[in-house]
Amino acid sequence: MNGEQVFRHVPVLLEETLTALNLQPRGTYLDGTVGGGGHSEGICRALDGNCTLFALDRDRDALKAAARRLAPWQGLTLVHGNFHEAHRLLPGIAFDGILLDLGVSSWQLDTPGRGFSYHEDAPLDMRMDQSAGRTAADWLNTTPEREIARALYDYADERWAARIARVIVEMRSERLFESTQDLVRAVDRAIPKAVRRRDEGHPARRTFQAVRIAVNDEIAPLACALESLLSMLKPGGRLCVISFHSIEDRVVKRAFAGFKNPCICPADAPVCVCGRKPLAVLPKGYPTAPGREEMEANPRARSARLRVAQRI
Ligand SMILES: C[S@@+](CC[C@H](N)C(=O)[O-])C[C@H]1O[C@@H](n2cnc3c(N)ncnc32)[C@H](O)[C@@H]1O
């Protein structure tokens, strides 16, 4: 990371998350999305450093920022990797609490060189882990039209998905996509000016969200990852997940409902024969959303939801 670039990201639902984690002195915690370390620092402060904290991120620049912020605290291990693979990265550790603050950080969005922002002209990268996987440019230049349309629809509810996908394929046959502004131009060509609604913000917002989610494979493996993370908790340990859009939140909600009631017997079956037992309880008071004050102070918090599952 450029040394002059300060990592700016205000942790969302901080107090609510610390309460939800039910922090215990000498507890062992996993922050699966450490980012700039805002929530992790909150955990260390709340326990006065009297804990073991594993902090993971797939973005090496985020880890560097977290290392600086968390340097004063003992008992911290930073790990580069995907929380989908926490089981493999941190084998045999039983956690008292695990936190996921999903999506990208404000710092990632605001750093032009990362290619997440439609406001800047930058290489179309969008990978959280710049050491692996396809860039957004590669994805847009090689993915079949139908798959692009499906991603735009599924990951951002983009009603112009089919038209945008068609324009992307037309444009790439003339010149391959390279920069964020190539994608902005594609959206601009695809969405008729007359139908753009002011309240929907920048016309490319949804497309950028969908491409980012596709490039980083944020949705498909999430349900499995949640189940795996739940299994890494001690009995009574809590899995706390903050999501930022309805697609993500739906996956978390369904997964948690499945932990509470995993029975797959037909609804009209007189008794359960599948034998599946509840894996978690869902503590009262969740999901919770930020209060008015937080939303006013941090517009990014507006769509946040915190859900909690407690392992049985
Ligand atoms: C919303 S930010 C977290 C901010 C952090 N809670 C803070 O207060 O500074 C999300 C972070 O999670 C990381 N991330 C997203 N998906 C991930 C995944 N599957 N595995 C590991 N890290 C991930 C991103 O790189 C980003 O740094």
CATH code for position 138: 1.10.150.170
d(CA 304, CA 105): 13
**188 and 278 both lie in a single domain:** no
- At residue 199, the pLDDT reads 63
Neighbours of 23 (CB within 10 A): 18
Ligand 1 midpoint to CA 223 (Å): 17
Collapsing DSSP states into helix, strand and coil, what is residue 150? helix
69 within some domain: yes
- At residue 196, the pLDDT reads 77
**263 and 121 both lie in a single domain:** no
d(CA 219, CA 151): 11
The total number of structural domains in the chain stands at 2
Answer for the pair 90, 66: CB distance below 8 angstroms, yes or no. Answer: no
Ligand 1 midpoint to CA 274 (Å): 36
Contact residues of ligand 1, CB 6 A cut-off: 9, 11, 33, 35-39, 56-59, 62, 82-84, 101, 103-105, 128
pLDDT digits (tens, 9 = 90+) for 148-184: 999 999 999 999 999 999 999 999 999 999 999 999 9
3 within some domain: no
pLDDT digits (tens, 9 = 90+) for 73-103: 999 999 999 999 999 999 999 999 999 999 9
- Residue 69: its H or E element: helix 60-70
Residue among 57, 84, 216 whose CB has most ligand 1 atoms within 8 A, to mutate: 57
Ligand 1 midpoint to CA 83 (Å): 9
**21 and 80 both lie in a single domain:** yes
Instruction: Looking at the CA of residue 14, tell me the nearest atom of ligand 1.
Output: 8
Ligand 1 midpoint to CA 34 (Å): 6
79 within some domain: yes
Q: Atom 2 (ligand 1): residue with closest C-alpha?
A: 105
User: Residue 166 is part of which domain span?
Assistant: 111-215
Task: Give me 248's structure tokens.
Answer: 């993500």
Q: In the listed set 215, 248, 276, which residue is the last one of a domain according to the structure?
A: 215
Instruction: Specify the pTM.
Output: 0.95
Residue 4: is its pLDDT beyond 50? no
Residues 6+ apart with CB under 8 A from 86: 30, 32, 56, 225, 228, 229, 232
- At residue 3, the pLDDT reads 40
Ligand 1 midpoint to CA 304 (Å): 14
**271 and 253 both lie in a single domain:** yes
